[in-house]
């Protein structure tokens, strides 16, 4: 992708980042705005989203907050309608939002918590594809990136609930890549961020020194770089050490 005269490769493009109120999502949203994209910030914490929006505007970027709970049946559909009416397309979709159920044996998985994880990590991925497919197809170079985890490919004891949801989400994205390969200008990548300093990581590894793993900005930098590369659809990669 060539840069414009101002050195901003995503000038004129619209990007949606789910779970952009903190962590990798927030860092990616800020990085995309710095690269020229107008970023749609989504999440449940309106105040946190407003803080990220302020950071973006203070650095000369542009963004719009769109508070939405991905588990709401009509939330994603309403968001897609709003994007369609205002921008008429979507160039970049970063599927980042996810929840981590309690780490426990498969036999002891709490069904209510598992259902929430399935809804957020799997059903929302399908709903995002279903509602934004038409807008992605209107872009000249649409890209979709889904954040994954190493446990999706290499099962680990006590990670069954989370691993199952991430494996399912990754499969949906891979299938979407195959379905659009020859019918649309849509490219899909699944990226494992590796060990990263996030609230989810802290919950999973409470005894780990935060400074021993990379900050979210490192992942965001790689995601934005990848979005500017001519990667082949159904691309997969890991950023740093596996999570």
- Residue 188 CB contacts under 8 Å (≥ 6 apart), including other chains: 143, 144, 145, 146, 173, 174, 176, 177, 180, 233, 234, 235
Residue 6's pLDDT is what?
A: 55
Residue 242's pLDDT is what?
A: 40
d(CA 185, CA 181): 8
Residue 7's pLDDT is what?
A: 75
Residue 241's pLDDT is what?
A: 52
First to last CA, the chain: 30
C-beta separation of 67 from 40 below 8 A: no
The token duo for 165 is 């949801």
Residue 72's pLDDT is what?
A: 85
Hunting for tokens 């963004």 — which residue is that?
A: 63
- Nearest Cα to Cα of residue 59 among 81, 100, 31: 31
Q: What is the pTM of this model?
A: 0.94
In order of start, what are the domains of the chain with their CATH numbers? 14-238 (3.40.50.720)
C-beta separation of 184 from 90 below 8 A: no
Q: What is the mean pLDDT of each run of 10 residues along the chain (243 residues)?
A: 65 97 97 98 95 96 94 91 98 97 97 96 97 98 97 95 98 98 96 93 93 95 97 93 43
Residue 197's pLDDT is what?
A: 92
């Amino acid at each position: 992708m060539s840069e414009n005269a101002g050195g901003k490769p995503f000038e004129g493009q619209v990007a949606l980042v789910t779970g952009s109120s903190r962590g990798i999502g927030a860092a990616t949203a800020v990085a995309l705005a710095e690269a020229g994209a107008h970023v749609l910030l989504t999440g449940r914490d309106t105040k946190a989203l407003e803080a990220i929006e302020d950071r973006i505007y203070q650095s000369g970027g542009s963004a719009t907050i769109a508070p939405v709970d991905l588990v709401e049946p009509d939330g994603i559909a309403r968001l897609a309608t709003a994007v369609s009416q205002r921008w008429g397309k979507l160039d970049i979709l970063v599927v980042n939002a996810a929840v981590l159920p309690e780490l426990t044996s498969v036999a002891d998985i709490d069904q209510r918590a598992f259902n929430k994880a399935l809804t957020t990590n799997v059903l929302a991925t399908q709903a995002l594809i279903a509602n934004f497919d038409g807008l992605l197809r209107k872009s000249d170079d649409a890209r979709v990136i889904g954040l994954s985890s190493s446990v999706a490919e290499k099962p680990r004891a006590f990670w069954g609930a989370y691993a199952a949801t991430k494996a399912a989400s990754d499969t949906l994205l891979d299938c979407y890549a195959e379905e659009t390969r020859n019918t649309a200008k849509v490219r899909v990548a699944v990226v494992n961020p590796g060990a990263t300093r996030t609230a989810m990581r802290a919950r999973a590894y409470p005894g780990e020194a935060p400074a021993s793993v990379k900050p979210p900005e490192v992942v965001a930098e790689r995601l934005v770089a990848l979005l500017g590369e001519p990667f082949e659809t159904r691309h997969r990669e890991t950023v740093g050490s596996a999570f």
